Amino acid sequence: MDTSIIFPHLHITLNNVEKGFHIGSFFIAFYGVIIAIGMLVGVSFILKEAKRVGFDEDGFLDICIITIIVGVIGARLYYVIFAWDYYKANPLSAFNIRQGGLAIYGGILAGIASVMVLCKLKKLKFLAVADVAIFGVIIGQICGRWGNFFNREAFGAYTDGPFAMLLPLNAIRSLDDTTAEMMEHITSINGVDFISVHPTFLYESLWNLGLLIFLLFLRKKKKFDGQIFILYLIIYGAGRFWIEGLRTDQLKLWATGLPVSQLLAGLLVVLGTALYVYFIKSGAEVSTVNHEGAKTEKIDQETEKEQEN
């Protein structure tokens, strides 16, 4: 199997891009390592942000740990449900996540549900918590997409555009992810057949990086609880709707043939926009107390202004 990945129009050739490494006889996939790194970086940022706005770090760490576990289960369940034609013949393989198959939307939905329940139990304001926690999600997504790069998966349709990516045909996850157009434009290099595709993993990672920068800039100027979280739903949903339309490995809504993640992305944009308009028109503001008397950033800013005066 050839292990090179080429971006011909960017004049970048990456040789020996392995899918993982061995420690003794145990194989460790880069996909898992990258996801773990994304989780660690995301949680670290969440805890710092939680402290900055007045939340208890230990309480937030509990939320992070539980939500990560629930999120992974949700991501796997989402994937298995919408790829049931594959798993119904061998349902026990649904428990083997080492084979791959985690859908981020399942993780997001399960994570949101988990945070809502935990906020109810801990008597925290969900939208205030969500404004902090969502940064960890974005960081995890930025990192996680590079796992798809190492796995040669989640790529888009044929393209010969400036960002075209050449993948060895014998190294991709499944020939089911290829299209007739890809096969018609196979490029042979040193006897190896390559398909030319959209690097959708890169598109989404860069889209999320831009979103992270925007929300980091906005967080100190937010006008109401939930603004950061809702803007994530809108902007991420818009980008995912476009990118999902390019992919060739879409999970379909059972017998309809409709791409379920693209439909969900569009729904989040509509729902998020409606919520944003509602909160703006209702005059919602940043809460004066997050939980148990902990002050929010709004109070901190007012205190700083008073000290300056």
Binding-site positions read 145
What is the DSSP code (8-state) at residue 283?
T
Task: Give the number of other CB atoms < 10 A from CB of residue 280.
Answer: 12
Q: Where are the alpha helices (DSSP H) in the chain?
A: 30-53, 57-82, 84-87, 104-122, 126-151, 180-184, 200-218, 227-244, 260-282, 297-308
**CA dist., res. 243 & res. 245, Å (int):** 5
Tokens 């796997």 appear where? 76
- One-letter amino acid at 177 equals D
CB 108 within 8 A of CB 137: yes
Torsion of CA 16, 22, 23, 28, to 10 degrees: 100
Nearest to 101 by CA among 118, 119, 83: 83
What is the DSSP code (8-state) at residue 251?
P
CB 244 within 8 A of CB 105: no
Task: Give the number of other CB atoms < 10 A from CB of residue 303.
Answer: 11
